[in-house]
Chain A
Amino acid sequence: MKRRRLDLAQVPANVGKGVDDRYKVATPLRGLLNKVFPDHWSFLLGEIALFSFVVLLLSGVFLTLFFDPSMKEVTYDGPYTALRGVDMSAAYASSLHISFEVRGGLFMRQMHHWAALLFMASIVIHMARIFFTGAFRKPREANWTIGIILFLLGFFAGFTGYSLPDDGLSGTGLRIASAIMLSIPVIGTWMSAAVFGGEYPGEFIIGRFYIAHVLLIPGGLLALISVHLGLVFAQKHTQWPGPLRTNDNVVGERMFPRYALKQGGFFMAVFGTIALLAGLFQINPIWLFGPYLASAVSSASQPDWYVMFMDGLVRLMPAWQIDFPIGDGYVLPPLFWPAVVGLGALFTLPMLYPTIEARRTKDKGSHHLLQRPRDAPERTGVGAMAFTFFTIATLSGANDVIADKFHISLNAMTWAGRIGLLVLPPLAYYISVRVCLGLQQHDREVLAHGVETGIIRRNPDGRFEEVHQPLGPVDDHGHPIPLDYIGWVVPKKMNRVGALAPAIKGFFFPVETLPEAPVSPAVPSVTGPSAREEITSGR
């Protein structure tokens, strides 16, 4: 069979053979191509964080080409006339240079900042999804912990980045960071002196934050994101309960081509959203804040949103100072509690939650099927409590702006925050547990009696009653046989069980004759659209 002539059709096969001879990839690659992923919109929230991170890396590299992380004093001589002749650090001057004189510099800066905000926001939303559906349970506890560390790293990446331009706002943020370090008992002054290289602000901090912001923290993020995704891959994704779905299988579609293609399209859409935000919505206009001066600050000094909860807690803390009358006397300032203890607790308690819940419920099994929030009312209540706390703390971080815009007394805002922080979370717990129980009950009711049709019937004896559409088989008297709850959406409207005809395709005129309308899902057609819908998207 020896032929010298080059057979083009055989080239891919030959290349593949050559590669496999050397690296033995065919078998693992088949597994990869075939890997099945379950599909649900809520599984894509973490992807937004991943894609924003890629945008952060790309735009960040651009910014490093022009940024000068130096606190050397220079006099501004650029095109922005309002600051011409003003003494400032080289870091601030180069940030102005990026904003005003570099082609696309301002666009890239705003893209970087918007991507950072989106990164943190999608982490929080993704975390909420994981929490409320119980996806953190065994065997995924470690990945939950890694996720929280990722949020913490993102928090510090954001703070160091916020500090780098050395404008009026970021300097104030640094000052507060220094005060937080000082508030730590015994080692506080030593810690602040170590970070700032002596007295605040010193001459090192921008350089040190720069290397942390562009190498150390992103390195950590990259490493942990790899582990995070690797674990999702190795442990296989969780899935919602539903037809065919068990704790031992994965129902969905194979990774290639459709699933991977959808990911690619979603990445582009996220990237496009960030580009639109960066182009159209101004963010952090550093030229308006001026260079950092220890003596100047404006009202409405706010950190980025993901730091606001901490700022809010600091604002709400009463002035409780603890004195230790030993020797010359020692002090524990009130700043220590919200900023150090509070932040520490807010990060460690969630890390421990999977263990706490498993111990409380004495649950040692592995879970690959998600729970609807209503089916775990206590967990949902705890989550609602945590988010209420977070929201009040975050709003309190802007209480001066709220007071100003709505003409409320500033002190009243602070007191409302103090009281709200204690009263509202338990209330949120109570309300959400009751709502969950109510929803559970309604699910069972529909499974037992059928869907309300909205049709009122008058019986021969004069009584009125509503006709119910049974979801399953009926007994001899026409009463529905109660169905078991399997942990998935119970159809509660007639439209959900096929009462609504499928939409006609085409904008101005129908492009195709209609497929046959699906029959009742009690007897689903094996290949009909409604049956597929039920399995794949779970609506």
Chain B
Amino acid sequence: MTVTQDGAHGAGTEPVDVNDPKLSRFDIVREGARRDDIEIVTYESQFQGTNSKAEKRVVRNIALLFMISGVAAAAFVVFFIVWPWEFELGHTMSDYYTPILGISLGISLFALGIAILAWAKKLLPHEVSIQDRHNKPSSDEDRLITGQTMAYLVDELGVQRRPLLKGAIALGLAPLGVAAAAPLLGGLIENPHKDSEPFMYHTGFDPVPNNGQLVRLTREDGSPVRPEDVSVGGQITVFPGIPEGATNKYADSPTLLVHLRAQDAQDAREATEADKINKGGMWGNYVAYSKICTHAGCPASLYEQQTNRLLCPCHQSQFLITDNARPIFGPASRRLPLLPLEVDDEGFFVAASDYPEVIGPDFWERP
């Protein structure tokens, strides 16, 4: 085995016969390193002499750390098993279960870590070794040989010479590739526009699936809402009064019903009457807007009574309720759709129709 000797290292390391019985174990290690193109420049104990006081002290400390680790780990196991762990109401012992586990396991692992680190850093000899990087690329000859071998493989297959195969491979493999992807993609694809009433454009307030009956506005528990249930300046979240109307199955339907003060209602009415779509959508001083933000779909749920602004807490889009819920600040670019209100024979709020505009976050084909 020959070793390349260059300027940086190699000095003072001659090959030795490893079978020489006079060699120490370190000599053999050094010879092994030499064969891996490593020169061990320094390798020396951190202590003076073999039995120094400082070394003993370090050994004692490391031993202590191992003990601490063991004790803490044992404590962890005991606490894990015997400490009351189930949540109980009020201030109980179980409140301390997680902190105790964390402290005992943390101390155990930390002490072990420090012990090992101290062992490596304080006890083991310091070393400086230099290894050749061997970062030269393969030789030109090897490159040539490998390149020619690969070209030869292509030649042997003879695709170039047999154009029929070329076409046949393409025709045979491309569909198979598609076939491999088809089950995954094909299984996942759902047409968002299928059905006569695609879900993108309809909410739970649509009267058609409700046998043509207008859908009531209900609270979360399903109870319908009368006009007098909402105080002046107040607002409540309402849901379509159909089975499961308040669940996530109708995630696009939550609506904010606002009872505006007289002056604000006057402004709001002027704004809605002037609008082609929202015209006639208010009932008295009441107005209802979709709660699903037109920006990213969070519920725009923070209503500021004094300014009649509705704020979405996710990205801070703000909508002015008295002006057709127009976005006035933040990233939302589209107003909240208005739910046209009516009151039925029994005096409960109903939706006069489904939302005339698409609710929720924007998408490409929104009309």
Residues of A whose CB lies within 8 Å of any CB of B are: 30-31, 33-36, 73, 78-81, 87, 99-104, 106-107, 110, 139, 171-172, 175-176, 178-180, 182-186, 188-190, 192-195, 197-201, 235-236, 244, 246-254, 257-259, 261-262, 264-273, 275-280, 292-301, 311, 314-321, 328-335, 366, 368, 399-400, 410-411, 414, 505, 511-512, 515, 526-527, 532, 535-536
Per a CB cutoff under 8 Å, which of A236, A264, A299 touches B302? Answer: A299
Picked from B103, B124, B192, the residue with its CB within 8 Å of the CB of A190 is: B192
Bound together, the chains give a CA A192 to CA B297 distance in angstroms of 13
Contact among B42, B98, B126, B298 with A106 in the assembled complex (CB-CB below 8 Å): B98
Q: Are A279 and B106 in contact (CB under 8 A)?
A: yes
B44 nearest CB neighbor, chain A only: A527
A334 CB contacts on chain B under 8 angstroms: 295, 331, 333
Closest partner residue, chain A, to B238 (CB atom)? A295
Please tell me if the beta carbons of A258 and B133 are within 8 angstroms of each other in the complex.
no
Contact of B329 among A190, A244, A414, A505 (CB under 8 A): A414
Contact B86 A79 (CB under 8 A): yes
Complex Cα spacing A279 to B104, Å: 9
| Complex CA–CA separation, A201 to B199 (angstroms) | 12
* Residue contact B313 to A297, C-beta cutoff 8 Å: yes
Binding site for A on B (CB under 8 A): 6, 8-9, 32-33, 35-36, 38, 40-42, 44, 48, 52-54, 57, 80-81, 85-89, 97-103, 105-121, 124-133, 135, 185, 188-193, 199-200, 220, 237, 239, 246-248, 250-254, 291-292, 295-299, 301-302, 313-317, 327, 329-334, 360-367
Q: Are A317 and B131 in contact (CB under 8 A)?
A: no
Given A36-B131, A265-B120, output 9 extra A-B contacts at Cβ < 8 Å: A103-B85, A179-B360, A258-B125, A265-B113, A270-B113, A298-B313, A319-B327, A334-B331, A535-B128
Contact B116 A253 (CB under 8 A): no
Query: Nearest A residue to B47 by beta-carbon distance?
Result: A512
CB-based contact A107/B101 at 8 Å: yes
Task: Return A529 CB to nearest CB of chain B, in Å.
Answer: 9
Kindly list chain A residues whose C-beta atoms are within 8 Å of the C-beta of B42.
526-527, 532
Q: Which residues from B are CB-within-8-Å of A265? A: 112-120
Identify which of B57, B110, B317, B330 contacts A511 (C-beta below 8 A).
B57
Q: How far is the CB of B75 from chain A (nearest CB, A)?
A: 13
Residues of B close to A178: CB separation below 8 A: 297, 361
CA–CA, A366 and B134, complex, Å? 12
Instruction: Give CA–CA (A515, B49) in the complex, Å.
Output: 13
- Complex interface: chain B residues within 8 A of A269 (CB): 109-110, 113-114, 117
- Say whether B133 contacts A236, CB under 8 Å: yes
* A333 engages B361 (CB within 8 Å): yes
Chain A min CB distance to B264 (Å): 21
Residues in B with CB closer than 8 Å to A278 are: 98, 102
Distance (Å) between the CB of A530 and the closest chain B CB? 13
Is there an interface contact between A279 and B333, defined as CB atoms closer than 8 Å? no
* Cβ-defined contact, A275 with B106, below 8 A: yes
